[in-house]
Amino acid sequence: MRDRIWIIAGLALFAVVVTAPFWSERTPAKDLTKVPNLVLPVNQKDCVAPVSYMRASHMVLLLRWREEAVRQGQRRYVAFDGKVYDKSLTKTCLGCHNKEQFCDRCHTYAGVSGPYCWNCHNQPQTNVAGISPRSMP
């Protein structure tokens, strides 16, 4: 029983180390609990599909647009509310959304490492004020 002091000290140290991420102020864990700070378009209320669908399946829609516009020459998209859009990432999507403040922030938060859209697709001029197109990843 002479080692009691060491055992208790060791257990205490162990508890401190294991629980450190939960109470330490230096850990980024607290930041990760925040949702990404997305900047939503100011000029538009409606998207090409309901928000719930876009949030979960925008990539499916983009792939379908890509196939239809490039391979079948169908460039008009009639949305769920009857509005007609151009099937264009640069003109339609980025016409409202900002890549850095919308796409990138959520992708970074969700740990989605780069869809390669931006290797080729440009940002429209109005959205790239102060941002060189070449600075895109």
Partner 1 sequence: MKITRKDFLRLSGLSFLAAGTLEAARAVAGSDSSAQNSPGKPSAQPVRWGMVVDVQKCRKDQGCDACIGACNSAHNVPHLADPKHEVKWIWTEPFENVFPFEQSEYAQQTDAGIPIPLMCNHCASPPCVHVCPTQATWKRDDGIVMMDWHRCIGCRYCMAACPYGSRSFNWVDPRPAIAHINPDFPTRTKGVVEKCNFCEERLAQGLRPACVEACPEKALVFGNLADPNSEPRQLLRKRFAVQREPELGTGPSIYYLV
Report the interface residues with partner 1, using CB under 8 A.
66, 70-71, 73, 75, 90-91, 116, 119-125, 128, 133-134
Residue 73 or 111: the one with the smaller Cβ distance to partner 1 is 73
Shortest CB 132 distance to partner 1, Å: 10
Shortest CB 129 distance to partner 1, Å: 12
Instruction: Give CA–CA dist 41/102, Å, rounded.
Output: 9
Residue 135 tokens, joined: 């600075």
Shortest CB 39 distance to partner 1, Å: 20
Residue 1 or 120: the one with the smaller Cβ distance to partner 1 is 120
Contacts of residue 121, Cβ cutoff 8 Å, sequence gap at least 6 = 89, 90
User: For residue 108, how far is the Cα from the chain centroid?
Assistant: 6
Count the Cβ atoms, other than its own, within 10 Å of residue 68.
15
